Amino acid sequence: MGIDIYLRWELITEDELEKQHCGYDISKGGTGYLREAYHGEPYATRELMPEAFDNLKGLDGVHIPAATLRERLPAVMKAAMRRERTIYQNTNVNEDSPAVRSFIEFVELAERLEAEGKEPMVIASY
């Protein structure tokens, strides 16, 4: 069990959707997929997109401006690194570690999509 975050956008292709189905891989933020297991806090996904968890529409998704995601990213990266250190005893974690890099790539994708006018929506499945 865990938290799965999906980014959906206007005119998403079948290939793009398929890339998001990656067996709970924590390194696929660049595809629009984030994953955190329920192993304990902190949860970086909740730091990045609290609106997705407060969304009463369920799986309809919520638009969070890419600028908001970018603004939150430094705190999210710290939370992801803290999580790696405290829960998984990964003492070598840094910005290039898959669990951290994935959040950076997710935000970069949201920025590109928004710049293209595709208004990405965040869906949280938990």
Chain segment 77-114, per-residue pLDDT in tens: 999 999 999 999 999 999 999 999 999 999 999 999 99
Average pLDDT value for residue range 42-63: 84
pTM of the entire predicted model: 0.92
Q: Is the pLDDT of residue 55 over 90?
A: no
pLDDT exceeds 70 at position 57: no
Give the count of alpha carbons within 13 A of 94, CB side only.
2
Rounded CA gap, 58 and 117, in Å? 24
In contact, 1 and 38? CB cutoff 8 Å: yes
Domains of the chain: 2-125 (3.40.1760)
CA distance 2 to 103: 16
pLDDT at 66: 97
98: preceding bond cis by omega (within 30 degrees): no
